[in-house]
Amino acid sequence: MVLAGGGARAAYQVGVLEAIAEMRREAGIRSGNPFPVICGTSAGAINASALACGADDFDDAVAQMVEVWKNFHVQQVYQAEIADMVTSGARWLSLLSMGWIFAQKRLRPKSLLNNEPLRALLSQRIPLARLPDMLESGHLDGLAITASNYTSGEHVTFYESRGAIAPWVRNQRLAQRCRLEHAHLLASSAIPFVFPAISLEGPQGLAYFGDGAMRQTAPISPVIHLGAQRIFVIGAGRMSEPPARRPEGKPSYPSMAHIAGHALSSIFLDTLAVDVERAKRINQTLALIPPEKRNSTHLQHIDLLIISPSQRLDEIAARHVDALPPTVGSLLRVLGAPGGARAGQDGALVSYLLFEADYTRELIALGRADAMAQREAIHRFFGWDSGLSRDSSPAGPA
């Protein structure tokens, strides 16, 4: 399974997983893990790790994820109290107004928001200490977490696997087998400018890492390297969304929130859609090659099932922007984010930062509905229509 990034948009993934868990139970499957190889990026990396650490009880792992995402509040992810926002704002104001004359390196702001609460949440809710046991017992074959190296500019996949899988090297992207820690999750979800970079021991030594969606040219690649040939992809937008509403009349100059949202959407949403198209083209090409000659290529056919939002998440976010704490809402409105129930292009930035239950619950419901709309395709993908139970093989696609 591949779980894309997208900040608060990742609540949508939880709704899809909740529907899958229900379908499994209806098919009479009560044990096992349907996703032996899991790869996640940014907030998707956090969801992926939660599933991997609970691979011995898929239903319970999903239920715990639903419980967290349905009751989310901004303060669980980043500091939003007035004192915290004033301190952060004062540092940015100092840097912008006094510039190089007064700004000392130790006082330079590292990010727009402080995500220290997220560190505590990860420690409480994602027991990475269980991961080696999940691998050794066969409940899981591999977990991959991606991050972007600010020092070298390369995209790095950190992974743990049951088998002896050698690290891979490609143009501007490489992998490192290591013991995954919460710092890897913080690095993978460190949205540029918004959250601070994290120091990690990378393939070339100690370096600072940021959000894994940056410079990620092949989001599906890690699960293939870890042995997957049938891949379930949950996106966070673009692939199935209806087109944006075109404003009437002469367009106005884009706000800072609009530009920032556009930049984040380019980082989080575009590469997955491109990689899915690439995989489909490879499948089409292989279908034209005679079977006896396919083995001479380095290509392989990949079965793909993609679930992505059927509605525009930026418009949903714009409807819930008033759920943000006043301090955060004021900051975003200064940047031009929408206020009240106004939906529009400026809602994109909000859609990544709106870790509030009103919004996340609607995304969970949408993810569940979109998965149910593809019930037949999901049953075919897992082979549930055949009536075969895979309970005897915990790591197999149950």
Average pLDDT for runs of 10 along the chain of length 398: 92 97 92 93 95 96 96 88 52 49 54 87 95 96 95 92 90 91 95 89 91 84 90 79 67 72 75 81 84 76 90 90 78 62 61 92 97 95 65 41
User: Is 175:159 a contact under the CB 8 Å cutoff?
Assistant: yes
Residue 75 CA to residue 72 CA, distance in Å, equals: 9
Q: Kindly report the CA angle at 250 between 238 and 320, in degrees rounded to 5?
A: 45
User: Is 192:113 a contact under the CB 8 Å cutoff?
Assistant: no
HSE of 315, CA atoms in CB hemisphere, 13 A? 13
User: Is 209:147 a contact under the CB 8 Å cutoff?
Assistant: yes
pLDDT, residue 283, reads 82
Contacts of 330 by beta carbon, 8 Å cutoff, 6+ apart: none
- Stated as kind and residue range, the H or E segment containing 341 is none
HSE of 206, CA atoms in CB hemisphere, 13 A? 1
Maximum CA extent, the chain: 72
Return phi, psi of residue 119, to 5°: -60, -45
Instruction: Give alpha helix (H) positions in the chain.
Output: 11-26, 43-53, 58-70, 82-102, 116-125, 131-136, 182-188, 221-225, 256-268, 270-288, 291-294, 313-319, 326-334, 347-353, 357-373, 375-382
Structure tokens at 295: 């083995």
Provide the β-strand partners of residue 210: 148
Give, rounded to a whole angstrom, the gap between the first and last alpha carbons of the chain: 13
Strands 173-177 and 169-170: antiparallel
Provide the β-strand partners of residue 38: 143
Q: What is the pTM of this model?
A: 0.85
Strands 155-161 and 169-170: unpaired
Residue 72 CA to residue 107 CA, distance in Å, equals: 31
Own/partner long-range contacts of 331-339 (Cβ < 8 Å, ≥24 apart): 331/85, 331/89, 332/257, 335/255, 335/256, 335/257, 335/260, 336/255, 336/256, 336/257, 336/258, 337/255, 337/257, 338/257
Residue 285, Cβ neighbours under 10 Å: how many? Answer: 12
pLDDT, residue 99, reads 53
Residue 217 CA to residue 271 CA, distance in Å, equals: 6
